[in-house]
Structure 1
Amino acid sequence: MHDGWGTKPGQEHVLAVEITRPGCERALAHSCLSHFDRDRHASREEWARELRNSPVRVQWDPERSLSLAPLPHRSLQVGLGGEAVSRYVDEWIVGIIDVTGLANRIRGLVRGGDEAGAVRTLPEEQVYPLTSDLAQLIGHPVGEDWRPGRSLPTSGGSTNFTGRSTME
């Protein structure tokens, strides 16, 4: 988990934040890859300009199991800044649930050697259908499944939420 299982000082609570689909799609539509990709950008200068002007940054990170073993998919990390943070807070959030107890149960199962039980305890993920335009913008193969994950506040006035893809 990105929050150290809710045990790091100042990060003792784990929240599940539900946002609107239009909010999620607006964030993705106004995003820029956090790294230069010559297949998507004509030059490093063009990418750097896009990155400076974008209120949202995205990157695909390797996904791990609860025991930190590599998995055959990646997580989309979405960082919100500028006006996207205001929209997230004031318009997109529709629910916040404290899931600290759930995180503690899952942590206990993993530490007790019952990873299968921990996996069964995880909330069910659902496929999030992306338009081909959004998939291309975030560097996701068209036709692959994308499952939105949890929303986690970060330091520095930005917010990250994760999604998962079966892409390698």
Structure 2
Amino acid sequence: MVALRQIRAQYDDRTIVVYQAYSSAIAEPALRAGTFVPPFSFGRMTWIKPSFLWLMHRSNWARKPGQERILAVRITREGWEEALSQAVLTTSHPDRVAQAPVHVQWDPERSLRGAALNHYSIQVGVGRGLIERYAKEWVVGITEVTSQARKAAELAQGGRAEKAKRLLPPERPYPVPRATAQRLDIDG
């Protein structure tokens, strides 16, 4: 049985992969630089998601305007865990949310076909005060996975779900310190 609220991600000893969807105007310079650079906005919160399928749902498999390019952003686990340590649930008191440098929101995880599942996926909103650190210190590389996403969608829509699943990144439960897990309602 899958835990109700659990971080599932692709990660190794040093890094974790999060996903973001952008327009070509933002994706191209980021891919060339290997990190986020203008016109990426350093003046507003940026949301990072370790669940590939949740982002596919959100971006309509890279078809939503302004979200046509899917980026797999490899960041340090140190940075990820720092973000979580400063995070406040978006369901907290509005004053706490307004002052928090990082927001956490839980949304239903998605199936390959986009159906809401009975467990949740984490979204982490990195606030203005940490975005430069995110781009300059935490990001270790950016890879475009748009074609992989579109191919998986094509296979799934064509009734070839097993082939589509082979294109999905391997995600597994991410270990979180107990105090962080309790504060952010993480079950496992």
Fold shared, TM-score > 0.5 on shorter chain: yes
The answer to whether 1:14 aligns with 2:70 is: yes
Within the alignment, does 1:126 sit opposite 2:182 as a pair? no
The farther-off stretch of 123-132 and 7-16 is 7-16
Residue in structure 2 matching 1:57, options 103, 108, 113: 103
Residue of structure 1 in register with 2:143 after alignment: 97
**SS of aligned partner of 2:166:** helix
Equivalent residue, structure 1, for 2:132 = 86
User: How much does 1:80 deviate?
Assistant: 1.4
Classify the secondary structure of the residue corresponding to 1:66: coil
Which one of the candidate residues 85, 89, 92 is aligned to 1:33?
89
The correspondence for 1:75, drawn from 121, 124, 144, is: 121
Q: Percent identity between the aligned chains?
A: 45
TM-score by length of structure 1 reads 0.73
Work out which of the residue numbers 162, 170, 182 in structure 2 matches 1:116.
Answer: 162
Q: Structure 1, unaligned stretches of length 5 or more?
A: 37-46, 145-168
Q: Distance in 1 between matches of 2:148 and 2:81?
A: 28
Aligned to 1:147: none
1:24 maps to which of 65, 80, 100: 80
Task: Give 5+ residue unaligned stretches, structure 2.
Answer: 1-55
Q: Kindly tell me the number of residue pairs found equivalent between the two proteins.
A: 132
Provide, for residues 70-116 of structure 1, a one-character-per-residue CA deviation record: whole Å limited to 9, x for no partner.
32321011111111211111111011001111011101111111122
Alpha-carbon distance in structure 2 between the residues aligned to 1:69 and 1:10: 23
Tell whether the 8 Å contact from 1:29 to 1:137 is kept in structure 2 after alignment: no
What RMSD in Å do the two structures reach over aligned CA positions? Answer: 1.4
Q: Greater shift after overlay, 77-86 or 63-72?
A: 63-72
Instruction: State the one-letter code of the partner of 1:23.
Output: G
C-alpha deviation, 1:49, in angstroms:
2.5
